[in-house]
Amino acid sequence: MENFKCFVNTTTTLSEQSWAVLLDCLTEMEFKKGQKVLEEGEVCRAIYFINKGLCRSYYNLDGKEINTAFYFENEFATNLKSLKTESDKRLFDPCHRAPFRRRGPLCLDR
């Protein structure tokens, strides 16, 4: 959670009360190396903050994985098109760095 707080504090200052409200809206998750964040056909319904590790965004085109982005520690990862339109256009897959941990605030509900 500290990485997320440091990240937010680079752009704004929140009171303890504001932090409490924000943290109530977040869910902390952890993924293992190679574990998919979204399965093929699943709609993206969250914005992820990468606390530790990295992941990639890709889609499948005729059996070939086409990378669209890489996300690193202290960055946000999501598929805005899928999130906004509730479509299943892109996948996220953790990359090749173990252990892959995304601990910290995740799942900002819409």
Using alpha carbons, select from 81, 62, 22, 75 the residue that is nearest to residue 95. 75
pLDDT in tens, 17-67: 999 999 899 998 888 888 888 887 888 888 999 998 999 888 888 889 888
Burial 21-46 (b: 16+ CB within 10 A, else e): eeeeebeebebeeeeebbeeeeebeb
Return d(Cα 36, Cα 6) in angstroms, integer. 27
Sequence-separated (6 or more) residues with CB below 8 Å from residue 13:
none
Q: Based on the structure, what is the number of domains in the chain? A: 1
40, 62, 69, 79 from 87: Cα distances, Å: 11, 19, 18, 10
Whether 100 has a pLDDT exceeding 50, the answer reads: no
pLDDT of residue 89: 53
Return d(Cα 84, Cα 91) in angstroms, integer. 15
Q: What is the CATH number of the domain that holds 48?
A: 2.60.120.10
User: Domain limits at 64?
Assistant: 2-106
pLDDT average, residue stretch 64-76: 90
